[in-house]
Chains A and B, each alone.
Chain A
Amino acid sequence: MGALAAGVGDAAPPFALATASGESVSLATLRGRVVYVDFWASWCGPCRRSFPWMNEMQQKYGARGLAIVGINVDKKRSDAERFLQQTPAGFTIVFDEPGVTPAAYAVKGMPSSYLIDAQGNISAVEIGFFDDHKAAIEERIRALLAARG
């Protein structure tokens, strides 16, 4: 299986996934905003630490055009729901149990996050979640928000 083009500089692979309430979220409708796509699962330890930070980012920069989309890849929806009860998300959560989207993004580890600029191209890829990377990612977000005009 070839690694599909999902590196820095490539166009972000499209997806259209449903939230818990059935609403459809897609990259196409988010075009023009800076999108932070995060692949997470209930069994992933670093994901638990990343959620408070992502909540903070969404709150700080949502009004300026940041849209964080957490794509859940749990096999059992109840596992994801239990995680969300313990660690609430202040950003959009969608579900991709078949795992089509992580395959399209050639996810190498969990969690993986992809920062997508307002033109729909991947600006940064982060495998894992590290506290000492948070400041750099936030800087990147601010730069992309400023660049979208």
Chain B
Amino acid sequence: MRLLILLLPAVLATACATVVPPQPWEKGDLAKPSMQIDPDPLALKIDQHIYASKEAATGGYGIGGGGCGCN
């Protein structure tokens, strides 16, 4: 019984191999405003400023790294 519980996640995880990421022409949903990290431009600017000033972190959003769907 315990063996079954231990093995079950491994068995279920094999289903993940059949999940295929979307093709470039199927990314329409990613382009919706609700799919943005933060659709409000002012709030986004504040967040980006905080990341930049406190963590020296930039990027990770927009065309290449984000889900705008145009790539």
Contacts and interface: CB of A to CB of B under 8 A. Distances in A.
Nearest to B69: A43
Nearest to A41: B28
B23 A74 contact: no
Interface in B6-26: 23-26
B31 interface: yes
Interface string B17-61: 000000111111001100000000000000000000000000000
Contacts, number: 44
A46 B23 contact: no
A31 interface: no
Given A109-B70, A109-B71, A110-B69, A43 B28 contact: yes
Q: Is the interface of B mostly helix, strand, loop or mixed?
A: loop
A2 to B, nearest CB: 14
A64 interface: no
Contact of B25 (A46, A102, A128): A102
B62 to A, nearest CB: 12
20 contacts: A39-B25, A43-B27, A43-B28, A43-B69, A44-B70, A45-B31, A73-B25, A73-B26, A79-B28, A102-B23, A102-B25, A103-B23, A107-B25, A108-B24, A109-B70, A109-B71, A110-B25, A110-B69, A110-B70, A110-B71
Interface of B: 23-28, 31-32, 68-71
